[in-house]
């Protein structure tokens, strides 16, 4: 699993694994920040802190280190549990059909950063989450699962973020479960889920 600072998806998945709800062996968690290291290690899972700089060279070096850790484990799935970094094209291709992302929006609406802010400006009545395979085109990979939750005009951006986190966790867990159960077929950029 790849993570950044926000832990709600990681906490949820680790809890489901510990409870036996997800039959998976999590070989490692890689974070570009160290804040989720303690909870990961508390579950007996190795945590690797790989800091990312802002310049292209340091990002490339960081992604090379991430790829080395991931490829050594040869996982069935690479879960971007709110990783908040854009995978380089070569990793998108190398991990095609295995890299799974949770996007905090009901795609194709509100692609990229700050989708709850975008949704608030538009006055939407539903916010959602999309679990999809990662491709080189940002937030455009084949969709595995989506879900929504109702919001209203009185909700602030923090309210929308809080509600959205709930739906993100469930949507990612469902999509990952279906992937692990080999229930997802990808054809022509779309999925069929059995």
Which residues carry out catalysis?
139
CA atoms within 13 A on the CB side of 149: 19
C-beta separation of 48 from 28 below 8 A: yes
Among residues 69, 64, 113, which one has the least CA distance to residue 90? Answer: 64
Reported for 117-121, long-range contacts at CB under 8 A and 24+ positions apart, including other chains, are: 117/157, 119/151, 119/160, 120/155, 120/156, 120/157, 120/160
Pair of tokens at residue 10: 């990681």
**Regarding beta strands 184-187 and 190-193, do their DSSP bridges make them parallel or antiparallel, or are they unpaired?**
antiparallel
């Amino acid at each position: 699993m790849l993570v950044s600072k926000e832990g709600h998806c990681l906490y949820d998945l680790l809890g489901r694994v510990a409870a036996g709800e997800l039959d998976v062996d999590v070989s490692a968690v890689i974070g570009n920040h160290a804040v989720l290291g303690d909870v990961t290690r508390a579950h007996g899972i190795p945590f690797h802190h790989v800091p990312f700089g802002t310049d292209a060279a340091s990002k490339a070096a960081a992604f090379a280190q991430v790829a080395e850790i991931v490829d050594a484990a040869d996982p069935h799935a690479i879960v971007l549990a709110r990783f908040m970094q854009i995978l380089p094209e070569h990793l998108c291709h190398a991990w095609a059909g295995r890299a799974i992302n949770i996007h905090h929006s009901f795609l194709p609406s509100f692609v990229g950063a700050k989708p709850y802010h975008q949704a608030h400006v538009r006055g939407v009545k539903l916010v959602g989450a999309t679990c999809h395979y990662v491709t080189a085109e940002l937030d455009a990979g084949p969709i595995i699962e989506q879900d929504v939750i109702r919001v209203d005009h009185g909700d602030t951006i923090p309210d929308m973020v809080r509600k959205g986190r709930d739906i993100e966790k469930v949507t990612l867990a469902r999509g990952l479960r279906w992937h692990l159960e080999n229930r997802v077929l990808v054809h022509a950029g779309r999925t069929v889920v059995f």
